[in-house]
Chains A and B, each alone.
Chain A
Amino acid sequence: MRTNDLFAFATQSLLRARMRSSMMLLAMAIGVAAVVMLTALGEGARRYVTAEFSSLGTNLIIVLPGKTETGGLNPALLGGDIPRDLTIADAAALLRIPTVAQAAPIIVGNATISSGSRERDTLLMGATHSLFEVRNWGVKQGEILPNIAWEQTGSFCVIGGNIARELFPQQSAVGQWLRVGDRRFRIVGVMNSEGRSVGFDVQELVVVPVATAQAIYNRTSLFRILVKARSAQDIQRTRTDIVEALKARHQGVEDVTVITQDALLSTFSDLFTKLTLALAAIAAISLLVAGVLVMNVMLVAVSQRTAEIGLLKALGARPAQITRLFLMEAVLLAFLGSLIGLGIGELVTWAARQVLPFEAVAPLWAVIFGIVVAIACGLIFGILPARRAARLDPVLALAGKL
């Protein structure tokens, strides 16, 4: 039988059994749509997180106190204990490395802030003028922290937009006084909404000079040092140089962890890629279920069409031809169903993109995976009914005695 004829014959018999065909199409479509939608979600989450980490700033290197032996994501990043101090002098020493463009020592703590009768708890960050450059932070009103020596204290601060709105609802916050504990700070700037950050919201932040924060918390150790390399090519070299420089300053003990943005990015990217794979596998189960449905419906089709199968045999159809006819129907259904499912999945993810904060796009591999698995299911689950049809006894089939 010619392929064209095989195709036409299968199409005609599918069109004839509209209800049956549409049920199987639906099952297959749901399966493929599930693959598309779930992987789009996973991929979207991956892109979102990757974008978040990219927003940390370009060519960023993070120096943490304490040494861990494992690579990749350091638990200290997520808030572990701090075994050995990093100091402002350490941060200043890093500026002497030729490939370091900028360094920013940071201290982070909680503080109760107030203005007049308004009071709230917030995150207090001790930082420097250079932090704003390293992190690409800007202000919508006033100025960023002035460029004073790192060891110098100062009674001024930059605050996040939410804090400005809550504490100074009717007026401009710039120039106002803010009370932190028993100290008073002049507000020099209000951060703009562009500044996004992983771990905390800059809109809820109060930034004071790093030496002042040391005084408030009565400690010299830093939370971390952010370093900006001069270029992306310099990152690995800079990383080594930082480790060496700090080792030299710490009596030859390598007691810091240096994380590059790349390492962070690839860790999270890997994590989310695995998540997407897992989602695809879960969605593939629905394809399997669809395959079982196809098998059952095809078995019913075979028993309803015994007379036709008998006739085809009488007209000279070989068993292999009968098998091919029924397999063709199953595969055709699976293929059409997967195309419909693809359409539905893409439509839903398009709709999701309009409401979700991240780009939910099914990766190409998932689309191909969905279609291939659907067709494979059609083939595998089509074999049993097709072979049953091929094995029918023509005499009994023609007589309708099956």
Chain B
Amino acid sequence: MIDLSHISRFFQVGGETVHALDDVSIRIGAGEYSAVMGPSGSGKSTLLNILGLLDRPTSGTYLLDGTDTTSLDANALARVRGERVGFIFQTFHLVSRLTALENVELPMVLASRAPAERRARAKELLQRVGLADRVQHRPDQLSGGQRQRVAIARAMIMRPAVLLADEPTGNLDSASGKDVLDALERLNTEGLTLIVVTHDQLVGDRAPRRIRMLDGKVLDDVRR
């Protein structure tokens, strides 16, 4: 489903060229659960940004569901991003002035879906992540774990093909971190492709496939 071939991403920092990704080729099948691991600066975040179509590779091709994304324009990329990719961020990135429900609805609002449809779906998703009684709460009235579960509900509302989680437990204590991972893994068992980027060994060890990165290259790619 995801097919990266010979992806490179260079940045110009000062006069120097930094190889954030250097000739990376990875294939990830539908429904797979992978952890991308590595120290900071290893290129794992850049990889995630490219997978999420937030960033474009300097060279190489990226096929998502058989579509070559490198030839898409900004509007088409935004559309694919909205419909096919769900994001989970370390810092949650909830809109603080909106309620949990409104935050979850947001992708559907941007996609011009009908209010009744998106409200029903957002409520259903909040219920599935165990926040049925927090629908009208604002992010600052929720705990870290609850916020991340709101973010998961938001990531799922457009029924994406792949969920990209960037250090999803990085800002959480171990108990709520486990809740969040449980919720993500439950979605994976329902058929969702899940990619978790982390430098936390314990988090990475939960995934059946582990891609370790160093200096912009894939160090090893192990399936359990």
Contact = CB atoms under 8 A, between A and B. Distances in A.
Contacts of B55: 394-395
Given A12-B98, A395-B54, A315 B106 contact: yes
Nearest to A320: B75
Given A316-B79, A318-B78, A319-B74, A5 B109 contact: yes
Contact of A315 (B49, B74, B75, B82): B82
A317 interface: yes
Contacts of A318: 74-75, 78-79
A394 B93 CA distance: 13
B54 A315 contact: no
A42 to B, nearest CB: 44
Q: State which size class the interface on A falls in.
A: 20 to 34
A257 to B, nearest CB: 71
Contacts of A311: 93, 95
B158 interface: yes
B112 A2 contact: yes
B83 interface: yes
B93 A317 contact: no
B110 A315 contact: yes
Nearest to B109: A5
B107 A316 contact: yes
A369 B70 CA distance: 49
B10 interface: no
Contact of B93 (A16, A320, A398): A398
A321 interface: yes
Nearest to A16: B97
A201 interface: no
Interface in B60-87: 74-75, 78-79, 81-83, 87
Contact of A308 (B79, B95, B107, B112): B95
B183 to A, nearest CB: 19
A110 B89 CA distance: 93
A318 B54 CA distance: 12
B78 A317 contact: yes
Contact of B81 (A314, A320, A321): A314
B87 A9 contact: no
Contact of B78 (A12, A310, A319, A395): A319
Contacts of B96: 16
A307 B89 CA distance: 12
A314 B52 contact: yes
B110 A1 contact: yes
A398 to B, nearest CB: 7
B49 A395 contact: yes
B219 to A, nearest CB: 23
Contacts of A2: 109, 112
Contacts of B87: 314-315
7 contacts: A1-B109, A314-B52, A315-B87, A315-B106, A315-B107, A315-B154, A318-B75
Given A2-B112, A315-B81, A315-B87, 11 more contacts: A1-B112, A9-B109, A12-B97, A312-B106, A315-B110, A315-B154, A316-B78, A316-B158, A318-B74, A394-B55, A395-B49
